[in-house]
Amino acid sequence: MFVQGHETLQLRLDCVTALGPRRWIVYGWAATPRGVGSRIAVTAGAAGDCAIEHVSFHAHTATPLAANAVLHSFTLVFAPPEGARGFILTLTAGAETLRADLLDSAIPNDLVTATAERDGATSFRLFQACLGDPALAPLLHYQGQDFGAFSAWLTRMPHVAGRAVNLGPFAEVEALLSPAGEVLLMLRATTPMPHQATLSAVLAAHPHILQLHDVHVAVAGHALALYGRLDTGLRDTLAGLELVAEAEPQPGQTLHLRAHPRLVAAPDFLDAASRVLPGPGTLAPALAQAGMGLLRPILARREAAFAPRLGNLPDAAPAWPETSRIAAILGADDPVVARLFHVAATTIEARCDHLLVFGEAAEEVAQIFARRGRLQVETGAQALVTLRQAQHTLLPVDALRFAEALIDGQPDLAFANPLDAADLARLPVLHSLAGCALTLGDTLARLVRQRLLECQGRGAEAALVPLARPWSSPQAAEMVHRHLTTLWTLKCNPEARAHG
């Protein structure tokens, strides 16, 4: 529906429909004289004015018909008074007024189609605004569709499953997620990115959109990057997350995309933040410095956010009992070593009644104990669940070290490094914030090694060596190793110790 006063005062209504029994929404655009104040209102005849619950204006991409006019698209949500039967929208610009009947049958009422056909930037801003605005919340649930009114708009976007190449002006797009609930969106080009390039994103987990905290957006060499974190309590929703993003590498050049981040461990996540060129390979010195310019603030943000969580964990725990209830065999990778448990099963059984086995030959080891039937034994996903739920004590047994101790005739040496309740409280936190692999078993093995080195009076940071992966640059490897070492060796602060 189009209403015109003259070339500098125009109104078009693209969609009017009900969002619920007492809430309506209007999409449209308005042209008003440049430099003249304007406002929009809705009345319901004798019932009086309608309450405006949301109104937003966005610069329209079309060229206005007159040079002395400005053109804006708008979104309006209003609540009519009780008993209202008709709605009149009034656009006022200075002393001039345009009116439109919002219930005119000529106005489209297909909100899903109207949202998809609007200017992409306008729909993106509206999608962003749904976060924390109760008046807009019904848009996400409209007609019971995935993301409601935005369903068709989102479907038309290019989709990135972790990584994509040759997407719009970008040679590579990568979306990553860390176990700590961090997201990283990297848009890499083959030429330097202009400093005025912009990037913003909304984190969505059907049927909600989520707040990203400590967001950092930067241009680094050939890359445009966005980093942010979820609330700690929302990390259980990690599997269903997606980023809805808007990038503007050049003024007037806009790309909208959907990306499902790929879950990776902290070293891979941080190394990706330092890589500013598409594809693998070592960076030239100048580009490596550009990558460090992005990596440094991310590391600083991580330490500021995560160090207090680790420092507030208690490090005082009950004394280790005579007999451990849960034991964990680590590194059961070699079937030959695994066979040693045939002759030493009683040594394990004397110390626990619940056994977890981790490694490539875990099932073979588990069968040895299962056939004997003297303790409960678990592998795979169930072993990880039990490990996460362990609260009191855990007796870790390194398979190779156990074999060496048996050969030397001193099997008790393999049981000399138990983990107490404080260690078990620290384990899942360390794993999510600074784990070097996605498997909790790897973090457990590193924690056991750290405790062993501490007992030997050696530097506990050696537990992090080696981080066996190719790095974008030696500088990135050094910075990430130093950062992870800081988190792994962080000690409980005195207040946490006193109140733990």
Position 464 scores a pLDDT of 63
CA distances from 308 to 487, 492, 496 (A): 10, 9, 10
Q: Give me the residues of the chain with pLDDT under 70, please.
A: 61-65, 232-239, 281-282, 314-324, 459-469, 492-500
Q: Are 16 and 80 in contact (CB under 8 A)?
A: no
> Using one digit for the tens of pLDDT, what is the confidence trace for 114-138?
999 999 999 999 999 999 899 999 9
Q: Is 398 in a helix, a strand, or coil?
A: strand
Position 260 scores a pLDDT of 96
CB count within 10 Å of CB 193 equals 24
Position 494 scores a pLDDT of 42
Query: Letter for the amino acid at 375?
Result: L
> Using one digit for the tens of pLDDT, what is the confidence trace for 449-487?
888 877 777 765 655 655 666 788 888 888 999 999 899
Position 391 scores a pLDDT of 78
Position 404 scores a pLDDT of 86
Position 455 scores a pLDDT of 76
- Cα angle for residues 495, 483, 278 (degrees, 5° grid): 145
Strands 96-101 and 326-330: unpaired
In sequence order, what are the residues at sequence separation of 6 or more whose Cβ sits closer than 8 angstroms to the Cβ of residue 120?
153, 246, 254, 256
Position 61 scores a pLDDT of 67
Position 497 scores a pLDDT of 36
